[in-house]
């Protein structure tokens, strides 16, 4: 068993609030999820709030809780404006109120005489913390200096600028006993999830306010990623893109793993530089990953193998990492379009208009052509439309001709109508002469284009159908078994609807 306990106890909830009342409420919330909680006394807005909270804590001792008191001074990156002596005073008050641990920043230790830490009536266990909000600190055995022998554990929080930085930090934690690795910044997010798997003694997650950039909330850390349950046998998957923060793929894929009881996790990688990611992927033991904008085309250059249709489309959205480390790419956007549309329309000999000539339009055009449909392309750059129709054997339809043409289905493969421009439609009502309209956009679920079509009595297919189908196809490719489709669909629809409720004016 580790220093902080095992299982969920290794997730440390961070309670950071300005008033005693909010701190107490957040502590209660945190203890419902994990027994290990950091109390950020420096976030309390005054000494009287600190006193009030610690009095409350003394009266309401949580027996099995492992509480870590922190009163970080500004010099160490915290909010406490007081002196070193005042910080030590509050930490000793926290010890009296039942805190087993305290976090002492190296900036404070530097101000104390040698071997004097234990002369203060601090909580019995000390976590020495080293923060660098600008870069990754030098990760060597000398980190923590002469104080290392006087404390029980060390926490290293470094700003992560590259994925290689976060991989180095996790390797350091794996080699050094009783070390907590905290990769800060959005690029470090996957490492926060994987920290416990890779050997960190704790993983921090805020109950409400984020106290460091790139933090993951306590409920996501526990319920979405199950960080506490990950171990060396856990298969790691991910999605790479920029931006990536709002991706629903982690929810989709992780729900599938939980429903099928597979020991696997799926994390979002913010990838600015593809080579940085590819070099570090073995460190995370990645078995496969999804690829989204802007890497769908450029990833092709780095694959050892690729299915022939993806090569023709010129884009890959799914990579399988083979046992020998080689990368095999394929395109499930293609499968997604087919599965979503086939439910409503027999594709052979149908006439389908694709609006746009970008990445997903290419996947749709190849998919439709292969399924036996006659493909028409309408794009603002006519030469892009011509090039695509040459590749799939279709026809270019100029925008001005749309009022006279009719189709079995029209597919929007442009971003027009996506949040935040949800009120606009790529086509006018007079341009919709068809039986079915499908929008590839899924934020919002019902786009303006779909609303206009429905108003005209035309059947509609939301982009969420394609999103689900492409993601489910990825899951099955990696897991080599049927995906729990119902559970995966339910969570994604619920998340999208909750998002929409959050957007609509109350």
Residues that bind ligand NAP (CB under 6 A): 293, 333, 336, 356-361, 379-381, 384, 413-416, 418, 440-442, 463, 466-467, 470
440 vs 449 by CB, closer to ligand NAP: 440
Query: Bridge partners of 410?
Result: 353, 437
Cα gap 338→363, rounded to integer Å: 10
Minimum CB–partner distance for residue 167 and ligand NAP (Å): 29
**Which single residue brings its beta carbon nearest to ligand NAP?**
358
Nearest to 238 by CA among 260, 214, 205, 270: 270
Minimum CB–partner distance for residue 407 and ligand NAP (Å): 18
Minimum CB–partner distance for residue 249 and ligand NAP (Å): 10
111 vs 503 by CB, closer to ligand NAP: 503
Minimum CB–partner distance for residue 3 and ligand NAP (Å): 44
**Where are any strands of DSSP class E within 65-123?**
66-70, 101-105
The string of DSSP codes covering 377-438 is: EE-SSHHHHHHHHHHHT-EE--GGGTTT---SEEEE-S-TT-TT-TT--SS-GGG--SSEEE
397 vs 441 by CB, closer to ligand NAP: 441
Helix (H) and strand (E) counts in the chain: 16, 20
Minimum CB–partner distance for residue 149 and ligand NAP (Å): 54
126 vs 418 by CB, closer to ligand NAP: 418
Nearest to 7 by CA among 38, 39, 40, 33: 33
Minimum CB–partner distance for residue 464 and ligand NAP (Å): 7
Exactly one of 296, 312, 344, 349 is catalytic; name it: 296
Going 244 to 493 to 318 to 231, the CA torsion angle's sign is: positive
Nearest to 492 by CA among 297, 139, 247: 247
**Is 222 a known active-site residue?**
no
Contacts of 61 (CB under 8 A, 6+ apart): 97, 98
179 vs 425 by CB, closer to ligand NAP: 425
Phi/psi at 354 (5° precision): -105, 125
27 vs 355 by CB, closer to ligand NAP: 355
Cα gap 343→392, rounded to integer Å: 23
DSSP label at 144? T
**Residues with active-site annotation:** 296
């Amino acid at each position: 068993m580790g220093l902080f306990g095992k299982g969920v106890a290794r997730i440390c909830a961070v309670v950071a609030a300005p008033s005693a009342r909010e701190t107490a409420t957040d502590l209660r919330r945190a203890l419902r999820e994990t027994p290990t909680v950091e109390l950020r006394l420096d976030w309390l807005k005054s000494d009287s709030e600190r006193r009030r909270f610690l009095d409350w804590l003394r009266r309401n001792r949580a027996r099995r809780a492992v509480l870590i008191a922190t009163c970080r001074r500004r010099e160490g990156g915290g909010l406490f404006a007081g002196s070193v002596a005042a910080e030590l005073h509050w930490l000793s008050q926290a010890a009296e109120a039942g805190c087993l641990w305290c976090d002492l920043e190296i900036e404070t230790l530097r101000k104390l005489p040698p071997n004097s830490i234990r002369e203060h009536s601090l909580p019995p266990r000390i976590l020495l913390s080293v923060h660098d909000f600008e870069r990754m600190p030098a990760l060597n055995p000398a980190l923590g200096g002469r104080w290392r022998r006087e404390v029980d554990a060390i926490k290293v929080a470094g700003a992560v600028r590259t994925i290689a930085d976060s991989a180095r930090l996790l390797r350091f934690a794996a080699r050094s006993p009783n070390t907590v690795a905290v990769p800060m910044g959005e690029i470090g997010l996957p490492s926060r999830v994987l920290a416990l798997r890779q050997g960190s003694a704790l993983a921090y997650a805020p109950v409400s306010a984020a106290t460091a950039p790139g933090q993951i909330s306590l409920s996501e850390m526990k319920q979405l990623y199950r960080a506490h349950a990950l171990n060396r046998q856990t298969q790691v998957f991910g999605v790479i893109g920029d931006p990536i923060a709002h991706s629903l793929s982690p929810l989709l894929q992780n729900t599938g793993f939980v429903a099928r009881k597979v020991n696997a996790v799926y994390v979002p990688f913010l990838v600015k530089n593809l080579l940085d990611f590819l070099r570090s992927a073995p460190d995370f033991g990645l078995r496969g990953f999804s690829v989204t904008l802007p890497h769908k085309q450029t990833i092709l250059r780095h694959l050892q193998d690729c299915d022939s249709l993806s090569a023709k489309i010129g884009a890959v959205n799914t990579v399988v990492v083979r046992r020998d480390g080689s990368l095999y790419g394929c395109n499930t956007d293609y499968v997604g379009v087919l599965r979503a549309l086939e439910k409503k329309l027999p594709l052979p000999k149908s006439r389908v208009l694709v609006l746009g000539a970008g990445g997903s339009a290419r996947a749709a055009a190849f998919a439709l052509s292969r399924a036996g449909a006659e493909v028409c392309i309408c794009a603002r750059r006519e030469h892009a439309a011509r090039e695509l129709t040459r590749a799939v054997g279709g026809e270019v339809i100029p925008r001005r001709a749309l009022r006279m043409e009719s189709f079995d289905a029209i597919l929007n493969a442009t971003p027009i109508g996506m949040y935040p421009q949800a009120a606009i439609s790529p086509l006018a009502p007079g341009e919709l002469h068809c039986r079915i309209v499908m929008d590839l956009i899924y934020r919002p679920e019902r786009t303006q284009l779909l609303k206009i079509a429905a108003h005209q009595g035309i059947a509609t297919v939301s982009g969420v159908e394609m999103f689900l189908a492409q993601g489910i196809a990825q899951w099955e490719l990696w897991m080599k078994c049927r995906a729990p489709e119902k559970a995966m669909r339910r969570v994604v629809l619920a998340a999208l609807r909750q998002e929409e409720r959050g957007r609509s004016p109350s």
